[in-house]
């Protein structure tokens, strides 16, 4: 079968990771890249990939079968709309906008033009998490008490990013919210937030180093999302599930093996997208899943903002 020719919009860090992930696939290739920054294009031109300044130029060349969007989150909706109007299937990096309303707009425009839109929540393609999901759905852990999802980074990003990235619940938490919904088939509600005052490299207004979200799940169990900016062992993600018949822990992204897990999951996600674009049944996240994750992230961020403002007011007094 001919390899699916994927056009990449956005040649930054995440875009280049996707190029690496696709390199080992027999189903899909990154055939072209569009990025307005010449240096970014130059980094990939050496790989034999055709480069363009704009997505429009890339598509008009007529050499791509679908598009992967890896641009900054605040450009996702406009980019989805541009590609959808040209009739090509789209794999958009998470979170597909920075608000639930933006994700809804992306969903609406994809529906209007009848194109497949998939969202890049790659954890759905991690074998360890897929097995855990199957075990939960099969009742092997019994009725659930608690599902805990952790994402802790080795070191905080630049303060300039933290000041403008929307905070941990938007920047990091959407992965955990999608993962919790996907693993359990339950909807989180009744959110409560706790923060730590501990800092590693100095406090950043509106973005504590560690935040926790506790919620109810629709089956009567509880959910916990734990996000941290400083984890000395290295970037790590793991989940724990407590049930009446068992306990499971999946350290699915754990140093020093996290990168290999990440690349393998991205490759599986790309190949699933290709199958869906060719008419197969999709297994990846939908635009509706993106809306759900961002809705939770917005609610959590609002609660966090209230708590931080209240604490600041108390300190002033």
SS in 3 state form for 217-285? Answer: ECCCCEEEEEEECCCCCCCEEEEEEEECCCEEEEEEECCCCHHHHHHHHHHHHHHHHHHHHCCCCCCCE
Mean pLDDT computed over 145-169:
88
pLDDT for residue 251 is more than 90: yes
Question: What per-residue confidence (pLDDT) applies to 313?
Answer: 62
Fold of 2-121+260-285: Rossmann fold (3.40.50)
- Tell me what percent of the residues of the chain surpass a pLDDT of 90: 83
Question: What per-residue confidence (pLDDT) applies to 28?
Answer: 97
Mean pLDDT computed over 206-226:
96
**What pTM was computed for the model?**
0.93
Q: Tokens 């506790």, residue?
A: 214
Report the relative pairing of strands 236-243 and 247-253 from DSSP bridges: antiparallel
Question: What per-residue confidence (pLDDT) applies to 108?
Answer: 98
Strands (E), the chain: 4-9, 28-34, 50-52, 66-69, 90-93, 117-120, 144-152, 188-195, 210-217, 222-228, 236-243, 247-253
pLDDT band at 214 (very low <50, low <70, confident <90, very high): very high
**CATH value of 125-254+292-313 in 3.30.1360.20, 3.40.50.300, 3.30.360.10, 2.30.300.10:** 3.30.360.10
Average pLDDT over the chain, rounded to an integer = 94
pLDDT band at 300 (very low <50, low <70, confident <90, very high): very high
Question: What per-residue confidence (pLDDT) applies to 312?
Answer: 64
pLDDT for residue 316 is more than 60: no
pLDDT for residue 154 is more than 80: yes
Task: Name which of 242, 188, 184, 243 is nearest 217 in CA terms.
Answer: 188
Task: Name which of 105, 108, 66 is nearest 88 in CA terms.
Answer: 66
Question: What per-residue confidence (pLDDT) applies to 101?
Answer: 97
88 touches 59 (CB < 8 A):
yes
Question: What per-residue confidence (pLDDT) applies to 315?
Answer: 58
What are the structure tokens assigned to 274, written together? 């290709």
pLDDT band at 164 (very low <50, low <70, confident <90, very high): low
| Domain range summary for the chain, segments of one domain joined by + | 2-121+260-285, 125-254+292-313
Mean pLDDT computed over 245-255:
98
Measured CA to CA, the distance from residue 237 to residue 254 in angstroms comes to 6
Task: Name which of 207, 232, 212 is nearest 222 in CA terms.
Answer: 212
Question: What per-residue confidence (pLDDT) applies to 268?
Answer: 98
Question: 36 CB contacts (<8 Å, ≥6 apart)?
Answer: 53, 54
pLDDT for residue 305 is more than 70: yes
- Tell me what percent of the residues of the chain surpass a pLDDT of 70: 97
Mean pLDDT computed over 146-161:
91
pLDDT band at 314 (very low <50, low <70, confident <90, very high): low
- Cα Dmax for the chain: 69
pLDDT band at 177 (very low <50, low <70, confident <90, very high): very high
Mean pLDDT computed over 145-151:
98
Question: What per-residue confidence (pLDDT) applies to 81?
Answer: 97
pLDDT band at 307 (very low <50, low <70, confident <90, very high): confident
pLDDT band at 286 (very low <50, low <70, confident <90, very high): very high
């Amino acid at each position: 079968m001919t390899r699916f020719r994927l056009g990449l919009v956005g040649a930054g860090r995440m875009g280049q990771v996707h190029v690496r992930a696709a390199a080992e696939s027999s189903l899909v290739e990154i055939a072209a890249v569009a990025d307005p920054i010449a240096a970014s294009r130059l980094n990939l031109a050496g790989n034999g990939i055709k480069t363009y300044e704009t997505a429009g130029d890339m598509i008009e060349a007529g050499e791509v079968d679908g598009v992967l969007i890896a641009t900054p989150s605040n450009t996702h909706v406009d980019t989805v709309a541009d590609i959808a109007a040209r009739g090509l299937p789209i794999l958009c990096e998470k979170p597909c906008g920075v608000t639930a309303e933006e994700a809804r707009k992306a969903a609406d425009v994809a529906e209007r033009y009848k194109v497949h839109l998939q969202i890049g929540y790659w954890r759905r393609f991690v074998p360890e998490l897929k097995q855990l999901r199957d075990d939960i759905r099969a009742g092997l852990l019994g009725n659930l008490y608690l599902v805990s999802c952790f994402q802790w980074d080795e070191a905080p990003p630049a303060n300039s990013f933290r000041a403008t990235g929307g905070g941990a619940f938007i920047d990091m938490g959407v992965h955990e919210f999608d993962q919790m919904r996907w693993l359990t088939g339950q909807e989180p509600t009744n959110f409560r937030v706790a923060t730590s005052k501990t800092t590693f490299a100095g406090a950043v207004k509106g973005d504590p180093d560690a935040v926790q979200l506790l919620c109810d799940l629709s089956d009567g169990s509880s959910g916990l999302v734990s996000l941290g900016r400083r984890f000395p062992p290295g970037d790590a993600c793991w989940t724990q599930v407590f049930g009446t018949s068992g306990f499971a822990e999946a350290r699915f992204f754990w140093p020093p093996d996290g990168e290999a897990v990440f690349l393998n999951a991205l490759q599986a996600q790309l190949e699933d997208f290709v199958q869906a674009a060719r008419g197969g049944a999709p297994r990846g996240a939908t635009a509706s899943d993106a809306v759900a994750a961002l809705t939770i992230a917005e609610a959590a961020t609002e609660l966090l903002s209230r708590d931080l403002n209240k604490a600041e007011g108390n300190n002033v007094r």
